[in-house]
Each structure stands twice: as C-alpha cells, then as structure tokens.
Structure 1
Amino acid sequence: MSIEKFMVGTAPQPIAPFSHACRVGELLFVTGQMPTVPETNEMLLGTFAEQTHRVMQNLALVLDAAGSAFEHVIQARVFITNMGHFDEVNAVYASYFETPLPTRTCIGVTGLAGGADVEVDLIAWIPPTTD
C-alpha cells in the first residue's frame, strides 16, 4: 500500500511545510485547516463562529478534492484558543455533519499559527468510486 501526499489548488496555501492531505488506501488524513481565505490566503480573524465556518469550508475543499465528504469523516480534532467559546464553535461544527457524528477531541490551546482561534483536522474514509 502506498502513501499519496497531495495539495489542493483551491484550498488555502500552507503557512508551514505540509501537504493538505495524505491518502493511505481508503483513509484520508487531512491537515488541520485554519480560517484562511483561499482567494487571498489571508487569515480571517473574525468571531469564533466566523472562523469555524471558514475552517469547515476549507476542510470541505480538501475532502471534495480527495473524493470524500463530511458524511465520511471518521474522526476530528478541534483546537480552540478560548474554551469560553466552546458552545459557539460546537454549534457551527455540528452544522456540517449529520448524525451520528464522527468521533472528536477538542483541545484548548494557548495559541495557533497566524493568530487564528480555531483549527480542525480530520480522518475520513474515501469511498470506492462507482463508474
């Protein structure tokens, strides 16, 4: 089994040395996405809800390019700089999924790259294509 590492042209360009995702078999490991606006590659430093929406939209770009979707997410990790906004982040995050939800860990951190307040990474299944 090989490892496919790839970048997604429509997703924000990395601010550090990494690939957007790595595929191993039917599993997709998506790098933590920040609230970066793809068109400008500038960090969206709005509310926690606004940042969470942008993060989830960026994750959707990577999932779609790899042949997956939120419905196929197995596990997520959410990083937030202020746990006082836990409920706000959760409401936006949950709106991108149907139930049952994927497994998830939420981690309070003292800071994120670029001054962001929210970052999310994922592990997803890539279903076989039907031709």
Structure 2
Amino acid sequence: MDQYKHGAQYPRAVNPAGLAAPGGHYSHVLVANGLIFVSGQLPIDGDGGKLTDRPFEAQAEQVLANLASALAGVGSDVNKLAQVRVYIVDVGHWSSFNEIYARWAGDARPARAVVPVPALHFGLKIEIEAIALQ
C-alpha cells in the first residue's frame, strides 16, 4: 500500500504476558505509528478467570490492572494514555469507579468517557478500552 512507502509502520499486534488469551479474533494491543490501541479489557484474570461474581470495585480494579499490563507489555504506561473509554452496566457505579480510577491514574488525566450500557459479556460489570502513546 502506498501509505507504507512514506515511513509509516505496519500495525503490530501484541498479546502481553499476564493477560488471558483474547476471547475472539483480535489482539489485546495494536501498535501503529507511535499509537497504542488497547482492546476492550474485561475483569478477567491472567488465568482466564472471569470475576462475574465479584463486586463492581473488584472488577474495576482487575480491569485497570489489565489495562496497565497491556500498556506495560508494549513499553507504555498510564502517563502516556491519551483517551480512555469505560463501559459500565449501571451508571450508579460511576462515583465508585471515578474514585478507583483517580487513585489508579494518579496525575494522569487522559480524555475519558464513561458510557452506561445494558449488558456486557459473561455478565461482567465493566469494560475499558484505551489509546496511548508509545
């Protein structure tokens, strides 16, 4: 393709250690031209265990740990996040999530959206996707 003749990089798919294998035809992370795209992370531990029966707070902490692992796996971190999109099944969890997220993100303040949705896979309560810089 012509766009790759002018110094652009081919996208590179990465499935960082510490994350369960993707549950479908996708990669946890795609790196392209200095940007990192993190696929939606669910509250699933590194062994593939779904935290379906755990409280929202435990699920939120697991998802943020997964996001941190995804970023670390390609040499990035929370301070390089540009945008975060959070899906929650109950807008009543917003304040609890915001508190957990603020503690996790520290001084980083990427653009963010929290989107209430009717349901997520496996009956889980939260999913997060993100874009970061390398």
Which protein shows a greater Rg?
A: 2
Give aligned pairs, total: 125
Kindly state the Cα deviation for residue 79 of structure 1 after the two structures are TM-superposed. Answer: 0.2
Q: Give the aligned residue type for 1:50.
A: A
Report the TM-score when normalising by structure 2.
0.88
Deviation readout 1:16-62 (Å, 9 max, x if unpaired): 221011111211000010000113x0111211111000000011111
RMSD of Structure 2 on Structure 1 (CA): 1.1
Equivalent positions of 1:1-131 (< 5 A) are 1=8, 2-39=10-47, 41-45=48-52, 46-126=54-134
Q: Give the aligned residue type for 1:68.
A: S
Gaps of at least 5 residues in structure 1 are 127-131
Gaps of at least 5 residues in structure 2 are 1-7
The answer to which structure has the higher helix fraction is 2
Report the TM-score when normalising by structure 1.
0.90
Kindly state the Cα deviation for residue 100 of structure 1 after the two structures are TM-superposed. Answer: 4.8
> Are the aligned partners of 1:33 and 1:120 in contact in 2 as well (CA < 8 Å)?
yes
The answer to which structure has the higher strand fraction is 1
Aligned mates of 2:115, 2:87 — CA distance in 1 = 5
Runs of 4+ off more than 3 Å: none
Kindly state the Cα deviation for residue 14 of structure 1 after the two structures are TM-superposed. Answer: 1.7
